[in-house]
Amino acid sequence: MSLNPNTTGNRKLRRVRAPLRFASLRVIMALILREMSTTYGRSPGGYAWMILEPVLGIALLTAVFSLGFRTPPLGTNFPIFYASGLLPFFMFQIIANNVSQSINNARALLAYPRVTFIDTILARLILATVTQLLVGIILFTLIVTVFETRTVLKFDRIFTAYAMAISLGAGIGIMNCLLISRYQIWQRAWSIIMRPAFLISGVIFIYENIPQPYGDYLLWNPLMHITAEMRAGFYYSYDATYVSPSYVFSIAAGAGLLGLIFLRRYNKDLREL
């Protein structure tokens, strides 16, 4: 808040709304709680579904894929192989989707000058991240205890994989948030672009399965790096030396920055749409 030297009585004059005030923790908390009670507000169980839904979804996918092959590309256990690809993939996708919808969903709330775009974006980013982390912890723990997975966890690489998925989701989400608000058609275009992503992001195969030069082409897809890093975190002998975290982080930062610059630029217009 820019304070003004002019005072009347003992109270200071402030601007009714700073151009882009930094987020306030209280508003973000309120938005998160609102989101939690409305997303699954109508179904019994409420927030529990936000966790259960992906858990069940991934369990089903794993079961289906396990039927088609004798052994997974790495190790001997199907559930852990698919889960280690699906979980970071969904982490990215859900964050990107949620963040990209934040302006659309919160437009009515912006009538309260207390609520800013940054608040709504951060609220959705935090909620999606925490939810997906919970999903990950539950599923991985379940799989590792129930099955004989023969995995040795390298927590530093798991951590890097999650960090990449979260930041890429946030970056792409912020960029899309602005693009969707300005060009409605982008939402459809993006969903078409993302449709084959599941198949070319190393979720159901690994880089080494793909003949060259196609394997190297796939490395342009940042999601390939994320899934491979996660695999490296679970399979002791799998090093995935081709993974480049800086490549993923650069794309995330680039997209996010672009989004934020546009956000600043179009902040005025967006409020009045």
Partner 1 sequence: MIELRDLNKVYWMGNRKKVVADNLNIVFPSRTSIAILGRNGAGKSTLLRMIAGSVDPTSGMILSDGEISFPVGFAGSFHKDMTGAQNTRFIARIYGVDSDELMAFVAEFAELGGHFHMPLRSYSSGMKSRLAFGVSMGLRFDTYLIDEITAVGDARFKKKSREVFYERLERAGALFVSHSLGQVREMCSAGAVLEGGKLTYFDDVEEAIEVHMFNMEHS
Tell me how far, at minimum, the Cβ of 150 lies from partner 1, in Å. Answer: 46
Q: Which is nearer to partner 1, 3 or 199 (CB)?
A: 3
Q: Decide if residue 271 touches partner 1 (CB under 8 A).
A: yes
- Range 126-131, long-range pairs (CB < 8 A, 24+ positions): 126/28, 126/32, 127/32, 127/35, 127/36, 127/98, 128/94, 128/95, 128/98, 128/99, 128/169, 129/91, 129/95, 129/166, 131/50, 131/51, 131/94
CA atoms within 13 A on the CB side of 150: 8
Q: Which of 57, 113 has the CB closer to partner 1?
A: 113
Work out whether 267 is an interface residue with partner 1 (CB under 8 A): yes
Should residue 195 be labelled a site residue for partner 1 when binding is judged by CB under 8 A?
no
When asked if residue 27 is in the footprint of partner 1 (CB under 8 A), the reply is yes
Site for partner 1 in 36-65 (CB under 8 A): 37-38, 41-42
Nearer to partner 1, 2 or 241 (CB): 2
71 interacts with partner 1 by CB under 8 A: no
Give the span between the Cα atoms of 215 and 32, in whole angstroms.
40
If binding is defined by CB under 8 A, does position 112 make contact with partner 1?
Answer: yes
Residue 44 Cβ vs partner 1, minimum distance, rounded to whole Å: 13
Q: Cα separation of 17 and 5, whole Å?
A: 17
Stretch that binds partner 1, among 12-20, 169-177, 205-213, 222-230 (CB under 8 A): 12-20
Contact 230, 88 (CB under 8 A): yes
Contact between 200 and 217 (Cβ < 8 Å): no
Which residues partner with 8 through β-bridges?
11
Cβ-contact 175, 256 below 8 angstroms: yes
CB of 264 to partner 1, least distance (A): 12
Q: C-beta of 122: minimal distance to partner 1 in Å? A: 14
Nearer to partner 1, 31 or 226 (CB): 31
Residues that bind partner 1 (CB under 8 A): 4, 6-9, 11-17, 19, 26-27, 29-30, 33-34, 37-38, 41-42, 108-115, 267-268, 271-272
